[in-house]
Amino acid sequence: MATVYLILLTLHNINRWLVLATGVWTLIRTVPGVRSGRAFTPQDRRPVVAFTGTVHLQLILGLLLYGLLGSQGAPVFAGAPNAGFQWQHLGLGLLAAVTATVGSALSRRAASDRGKFRVATTWTAITLLLVLLLIPWWRPLLRLFTGG
């Protein structure tokens, strides 16, 4: 159990950086697009899809971690600064998966190119904000299969 926990925790830790990086990549492409009036191309779609994918992967890894700790009766986020942190993490994590998915779907369906840029920008910014709020920043910034 300890080994599986460390593997999942390490993947969840590292994928957090992919979530943040793909979110910033999305904004770098979509924010200028809102004003420029240029066409929304497959190159603009790529970061949106990558961002949604990394958020979904994070959700799956988180659920596996949660299930594993729960099945062992082990505490989740022991030593967190506030007692309700585990519910904040879980709730905002689920919400982030929803907002990323909604943003990707609505951006795809928007009638105009400017609309696609605007929708992708708004929902990605909301999702990134949620992610920044839910990350346990007191935990290791990079974990490589080690405890602590």
Binding site for ligand HEM (CB under 6 A): 9, 12-13, 16, 19, 55, 58-59, 62-63, 65-66, 69, 76-78, 89-90, 93-94, 96, 131, 134-136, 139-140, 143
Nearer to ligand HEM, 52 or 116 (CB): 52
Nearer to ligand HEM, 37 or 75 (CB): 75
CB of 20 to ligand HEM, least distance (A): 8
SS3 133: helix
Sign of CA dihedral 82, 24, 110, 118: positive
In 3D, which of 74, 79, 54 has the Cα closest to residue 6? Answer: 74
CB of 82 to ligand HEM, least distance (A): 14
In 3D, which of 4, 8, 13, 41 has the Cα closest to residue 120? Answer: 41
CB of 146 to ligand HEM, least distance (A): 9
* CA–centroid distance for 80 within its chain: 20
What does the block give as tokens for 39? 């066409």
* CA–centroid distance for 86 within its chain: 16
Closest residue to ligand HEM in the complex (CB): 62
CB of 32 to ligand HEM, least distance (A): 25
